[in-house]
Each structure stands twice: as structure tokens, then as C-alpha cells.
């Protein structure tokens, strides 16, 4: 079996498991919807205020929802021995990790991206701003999954790993959050979002290039 086929098989397996455990996927999505929907109720119907805070609220909610599912990225495979088989498989572990991250994003990040435009309407965002918001999430949520994979690997099997995972990944999420929300704000103010989108794209390229190798090393350390 070739390496690309093995990675594709791993992604397909994770998607199949996600369908069987759809409650986990729906929990993440409902958390995202509830957090974004509560803010307009709390701050009132002032559209100017809602437009200003909307991109940041959507991005913070997406960040927290993505982090909510990080603990499950490797936990089930660790419990049933699949992770040990991945380590001894005749394929680069970093590429298998990339497949795991892809599966995580398809079941967690992509639903958030698809739901974001509908939630953005609560904040009075125009069509152009909603389009930029979707593009930033398409570029940024894979970064969240890739960076979070390192933290999930480092805290694998650690008691109280959820709190430690948050402490590890939240500081690394800050640049993605700043440029993701800032792109929409720059578009709304008429300054253009190209600079922010370029930086998000650069973050994604760097994350794809380096985080799978770091995650693979962390998994080897965790399983030693």
C-alpha cells in the first residue's frame, strides 16, 4: 500500500468513526452556535456594536470549539492500540499524523466554517464581510487543528490533560485569532483584508510543513 493511499485510508477511517460517534461532532457544533448566539442577547440590539464585535466573537467561539475536541484526536487510538500500530507502520509517522489532523478538521473545523455565515447574520455583517469571515476560517481553522495536534500529543495519557492542553495551545492560537478577526475588521473599515489573509495563508503553510513532524516526535515521547 502506498503512503498516500494509507493516509487517505486513515482519513476515511476517522470520518467513518465520526459518523458513528456523531454526538461528539454535534456537541462541538452546538457549543459554537450557543456561544456565538449568546453575545447578541447580552450586549443588546445595537447593530453598530454588534458589527464591531461580531468577527472577534465568531473567531473566539471557533477557537474554543476546536480546542474542545482536541483531546479526542489521539485518545481513542491510544486506548485501542491503533496508535502503536501507526508508530511501527512502514509509513512516515508525520504523514499519518497529517491524515489524523485532516480527519479532525473535516469533522470539527469544516462544520464551523459552514455554520459561520449564518451566525454572522446575527451581527449585521454584510455579504462581503461574511465572505471574508469564511475565507479566514478556511485558512485559520486548519492551523488550529495542526497546532492543537502538538498539544494533544504532548498531553496524551496525562491526568488532567485537558487543562494542560489549553495552557499549551492557547498562546499559540493568539496570532491566528488576531489576523483572522482582523481581516474582517479591516475589510469592514475599507482598508482591505489582503494582508491579513496572506499572513493566515503563510501560517497555514508553515503549520503544514512543521507541526506534523513535531506531533510525531511528541507521540513517540508519549508512548515510550
pLDDT (mean) for 189-214: 91
Range picked from 14-18, 83-87, 102-106 for highest mean pLDDT: 102-106
With a cut of 70, say whether residue 1 has pLDDT above it.
no
Half-sphere exposure (CA, 13 Å, Cβ side) for 26?
Answer: 5
Distance between CA atoms of 142 and 205, rounded to whole angstroms? 10
The share of the chain scoring above pLDDT 90, in percent, equals: 35
Binning pLDDT at 50, 70 and 90, where does residue 137 land?
very high
Binning pLDDT at 50, 70 and 90, where does residue 110 land?
very high
Cell triple for 98? 497529517
Residue 40's alpha-carbon distances to 46, 64, 70, 128, 131, in angstroms, are 9, 18, 28, 21, 21
pTM of the model: 0.91
Displacement of CA 22 from its chain's centroid (Å): 17
27-74 pLDDT tens trace:
889 999 999 988 888 777 777 888 888 888 999 999 999 888 888 888
Distance between CA atoms of 161 and 155, rounded to whole angstroms? 5
Environment class of residue 223 by beta-carbon count within 10 Å: exposed (0-12), middle (13-18) or buried (19+)? middle
The mean predicted confidence, pLDDT, of the chain is 87
With a cut of 70, say whether residue 4 has pLDDT above it.
yes
155-201 pLDDT tens trace:
887 776 677 888 888 999 999 999 998 999 888 888 888 989 999 99
Amino acid at each position: 500500500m502506498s503512503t498516500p493511499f494509507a493516509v487517505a485510508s486513515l482519513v476515511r477511517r476517522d470520518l467513518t468513526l465520526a459518523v458513528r460517534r456523531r454526538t461528539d461532532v454535534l456537541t462541538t457544533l452546538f457549543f459554537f452556535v450557543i456561544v456565538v448566539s449568546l453575545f447578541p442577547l447580552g450586549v443588546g440590539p445595537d447593530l453598530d456594536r454588534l458589527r464591531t464585535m461580531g468577527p472577534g466573537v465568531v473567531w473566539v467561539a471557533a477557537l474554543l470549539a476546536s480546542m474542545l475536541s482536541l483531546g479526542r484526536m489521539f485518545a481513542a487510538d491510544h486506548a485501542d492500540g491503533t496508535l502503536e500500530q501507526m508508530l511501527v507502520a512502514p509509513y512516515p509517522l508525520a504523514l499519518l499524523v497529517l491524515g489524523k489532523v485532516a480527519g479532525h478538521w473535516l469533522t470539527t473545523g469544516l462544520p464551523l466554517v459552514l455554520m459561520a455565515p449564518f451566525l454572522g447574520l446575527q451581527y449585521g455583517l454584510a455579504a462581503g464581510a461574511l465572505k471574508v469571515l469564511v475565507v479566514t476560517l478556511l485558512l485559520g481553522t486548519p492551523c488550529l487543528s495542526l497546532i492543537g495536534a502538538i498539544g494533544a500529543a504532548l498531553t496524551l495519557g496525562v491526568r488532567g490533560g485537558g487543562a494542560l492542553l489549553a495552557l499549551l495551545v492557547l498562546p499559540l492560537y493568539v496570532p491566528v485569532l488576531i489576523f483572522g478577526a482582523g481581516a474582517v475588521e479591516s475589510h469592514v473599515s475599507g482598508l482591505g483584508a489582503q494582508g491579513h489573509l496572506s499572513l493566515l495563508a503563510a501560517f497555514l503553510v508553515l503549520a503544514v510543513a512543521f507541526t506534523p513532524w513535531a506531533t510525531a516526535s511528541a507521540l513517540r515521547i508519549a508512548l515510550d
